[in-house]
A and B are shown apart, each in its own frame.
Chain A
Amino acid sequence: MLNFLKKDLLLQLRDYKELALLIGMSLLLIAILGFALGGFATTGSVNLDVSGALVVEDDEAEGMREFDAALAAADLPAAVKLQLGVAARAIRPVSLLREVLFSDDLAEFATVTELPADEAATLLDANEVKAVITVPAGYTRALLGALLLGERPGAELDLGLSDASPLSASVFEDVIESFAGEMNMRAALGEMRVSVADQAAGSAAGGGIERVAGARSVSSFAYYTFGMAVMFMLYVVGTVASRAHLELANNTFDRIMITNASRFSFLASKAFAAFAAAFLQVSFLIVAATLLFGAITGQTPAFWLKTALVVAALAVSVGALTALLTSVNFRLGSRAASEGFSNVLVFVMAMLGGTFVPLDQSAPALAEIGRWLPTGAGLNTLLNLTMGSPAAVWVPNLLRLAVFTVVVLVAALVVFPKRRVI
């Protein structure tokens, strides 16, 4: 088997044009799509229909009364207390948040509904809303205290984002970040101390956001990096399967069989060669896109390890597909299968899998098909990992990928001819 592998890898490495095309094209597309569609979620210039929910557990009036009481008890000059009291009334965090979320400007591309907590959670799980912004009880008191009295800890809004709609959800993340900036500005205009939220740490002096589990947003560059990666890895299938058929056509396969080598060793070597090529290609693409475009940033070593494992799982599915197409080519005695796959099926699988358009914007039936393909299962898993989603969210995608791989491998073994096809 090692001799087969060495031979196939040498052949692949020496196919410079193919390598350059696969990697160059995908990087180019990432750049084009990433720049062209990079701001679409926040500019409102693209036809989006994102929905969110607001849950207010805080009593703003009660918070103001509590702040007034704290202010009265504070050891500050009366004039300062007066100023702080005026500033507190200017800030009005919950009222201001409502103004932002229900404004005409936001309504052009996002719809927000104020709901009870349990109802909002249900809608988020069902992906009927893309984000839930929760104002916890005591928010007004804590925020005013942090902004105006320097109290610690600060106040945090809870932001729950949909795992299935990372781009749509990022709309609300941007809005809340703007709100936090507004809070700080108002505090500054009130000549009070300004605390800039430490969003990554999840704790903030004021106007901060706490990200709940699985709620990290995904940039368009990251989305299209993964999208292009899962699409272009499929071209490895057609390339390797066509090259395998060439070995049949130019009699090198016969020469191999005369040595008493196993036919299934030959088939397995094609699968391994495709696995290796796909793994290296996708890995290179992700690293290159991160370095060139900053596609994926601020992630932990654990994220990169999980990503490597997912890429390996995807590469295994590519190997399985290669084995199947090689088998079909040999059965038919032509390269029709692999050429048809490269020319047509790759694009179809990419479309169904969400490479160009997120799955949640596709018809439900098509989206479900896409989730069972390597493109859809792989893309969703990578996006979930980037968002920091828990394992319960992305493991089912990997299981679908595993089922697909096993089915395809079994089909390959069944279809591969036992005898020479004349």
Chain B
Amino acid sequence: MLEVIDLRKVFKDNVAVNDVNMYMGRGESVGLVGPNGAGKSTTIAMISTLIRPTSGDVKLNGASVLVDAAPMRAVLGVVPQEVALYPELSAQENLEFFGSLYGLRGKELAAAVDDALELVGLSDRRKDVIKKYSGGMKRRINIAAALLHNPEFVIMDEPTVGIDPQSRNHILETVRTLNRERGLTVLYTSHYMEEVEQLCDRIYVMDHGKVIASGTNNEIKAILAADNTILLQVESRNDGLETRLAALPAVRQVTQTDDGLKLITSHDNGVLSEVFKAAEAEGAVISSLGVQKPSLEDVFLHLTGRTLRD
């Protein structure tokens, strides 16, 4: 079991991580979501033993990794957000190098490299240098490099950012395989809430260095259980409409979307008629209106006032 206890990191006068508490049981898949600057990467860096916290602790099976990082490093694999590979070396050369750093040698190393390449579906491209790979392929080798030593825990920091759909699906499938078939404990961070919803058993929501919500998918969505999401498409942007809607008592939050507005409202039967009245008063033409249950994205918006991609 991995525990993060009152973890705090201060850089000069900036509190990047503010008393974060988390835990991960063996075999769990845990999501960590939050916008840029929320403190996710710093939290991951401390868990990975790359940087020392200002205060707090990280414990692996009850033993502090701040006292001795070696046991943690032996069982932890980290897939960083950036592709941390040598572009001039081939996939095989990269994996052999990183595998050797874990103490793998000879046949054991060769088998680990073969296994990792098989898992990410790039065995036939092992001799190609990394700089010739597509973005998606690089990210797959990035994952492979974290798995060579057969870790128990894997931290994956936004592994699908900026890649093609085919590679993205392959990566998501890989994560599922690692967690469900191989029993790896996975800490997964992403900007894409739908990925977290698909892959993770529990989720931590971070913003401004703090965990602002945690729980299973359903527990987090239940934060807005009493609310509805209304998607409003209008023919042209109308700032007056947004202001008028935000002033309605039943409306908790109004945000702009690409083609209209998204409203978080209470379960008020009269809210729809109020919306129509507001649109009429502002001269806005509603082309479509839909009501849906809140998503995790909505919960995030409710909690932070921003979308994940802001």
Cβ contacts A241-270/B at 8 Å (1 or 0 each): 000000000111011111111000000000
- Structural contact, A260 and B84, CB atoms closer than 8 A: no
Task: Choose one: B74, B88, B98, B100; the contact of A11 (CB below 8 Å).
Answer: B88
> In the complex, which residues of chain B have a beta carbon less than 8 angstroms from the beta carbon of A261?
101
Segment with Cβ contacts to A, from B49-57, B161-169, B235-243, B269-277: B49-57
Bound-state CA distance A128–B102 (Å) is 63
Bound-state CA distance A3–B78 (Å) is 20
- Structural contact, B82 and A259, CB atoms closer than 8 A: no
Bound-state CA distance A250–B89 (Å) is 14
- Structural contact, A7 and B48, CB atoms closer than 8 A: no
Bound-state CA distance A422–B52 (Å) is 11
Task: Choose one: B52, B70, B80, B88; the contact of A251 (CB below 8 Å).
Answer: B80
> In the complex, which residues of chain B have a beta carbon less than 8 angstroms from the beta carbon of A3?
97, 100-101
**A420-B76 contact, Cβ under 8 Å, with A10-B89, A259-B101:** no
> In the complex, which residues of chain B have a beta carbon less than 8 angstroms from the beta carbon of A251?
80, 82, 84
Interface: B223 (CB within 8 A)? no
5 extra interface residue pairs, beta carbon distance < 8 Å, beyond A3-B97, A261-B101: A255-B98, A256-B98, A258-B73, A260-B74, A420-B50
Closest Cβ of chain A: how far from B149's Cβ, in Å?
8
- A-B pairs with CB below 8 Å: how many? 63
**A254-B80 contact, Cβ under 8 Å, with A10-B93, A419-B52:** yes
Cβ contacts B96-126/A at 8 Å (1 or 0 each): 0110111000000000000000000000000
Closest Cβ of chain A: how far from B176's Cβ, in Å?
24
- Structural contact, B74 and A422, CB atoms closer than 8 A: no
Interface: A105 (CB within 8 A)? no
| Contacts A/B (CB < 8 Å), 26 sampled | A6-B97, A7-B93, A7-B97, A10-B88, A11-B86, A11-B88, A11-B89, A15-B88, A250-B82, A250-B83, A251-B80, A252-B86, A254-B48, A254-B78, A254-B84, A256-B98, A258-B48, A258-B73, A258-B78, A259-B73, A259-B149, A260-B69, A260-B70, A260-B73, A419-B51, A419-B52
Bound-state CA distance A266–B73 (Å) is 17
Interface: B220 (CB within 8 A)? no
**A422-B70 contact, Cβ under 8 Å, with A7-B89, A259-B102:** no
Closest Cβ of chain A: how far from B274's Cβ, in Å?
50
Interface: B232 (CB within 8 A)? no
- For chain B, residues 28 to 82, give those with C-beta under 8 angstroms from any C-beta of chain A: 45, 48-52, 69-70, 73-74, 76, 78, 80, 82
Interface: B24 (CB within 8 A)? no
> What is A's interface to B at a CB cutoff of 8 Å?
3, 6-7, 10-11, 14-15, 250-252, 254-261, 419-420, 422
| Chain A, residue nearest B70 (CB) | A260
Task: Choose one: B50, B69, B76; the contact of A254 (CB below 8 Å).
Answer: B50
Bound-state CA distance A350–B45 (Å) is 43
Closest Cβ of chain A: how far from B189's Cβ, in Å?
15
Interface centre among B11, B45, B74, B101 (most CB of A within 10 A): B101
Closest Cβ of chain B: how far from A330's Cβ, in Å?
14
Interface: B85 (CB within 8 A)? yes
**A255-B80 contact, Cβ under 8 Å, with A260-B69, A420-B51:** yes
> In the complex, which residues of chain A have a beta carbon less than 8 angstroms from the beta carbon of B78?
254-255, 258
Interface: B211 (CB within 8 A)? no
Bound-state CA distance A255–B50 (Å) is 9
Closest Cβ of chain B: how far from A216's Cβ, in Å?
45
> In the complex, which residues of chain A have a beta carbon less than 8 angstroms from the beta carbon of B98?
255-256, 259
| Chain A, residue nearest B109 (CB) | A3
Closest Cβ of chain A: how far from B143's Cβ, in Å?
12
Closest Cβ of chain B: how far from A14's Cβ, in Å?
5
Q: What are the 7 A-B residue pairs with the smallest beta carbon separation, nearest first?
A: A259-B101, A251-B84, A3-B100, A260-B73, A255-B84, A14-B88, A252-B84
Closest Cβ of chain B: how far from A260's Cβ, in Å?
4
| Chain B, residue nearest A15 (CB) | B88
Closest Cβ of chain A: how far from B55's Cβ, in Å?
16
Interface: B145 (CB within 8 A)? yes
> In the complex, which residues of chain A have a beta carbon less than 8 angstroms from the beta carbon of B80?
251, 254-255
> In the complex, which residues of chain A have a beta carbon less than 8 angstroms from the beta carbon of B100?
3
- Structural contact, A256 and B86, CB atoms closer than 8 A: no
| Chain A, residue nearest B85 (CB) | A252
> In the complex, which residues of chain A have a beta carbon less than 8 angstroms from the beta carbon of B83?
250
Closest Cβ of chain B: how far from A178's Cβ, in Å?
57
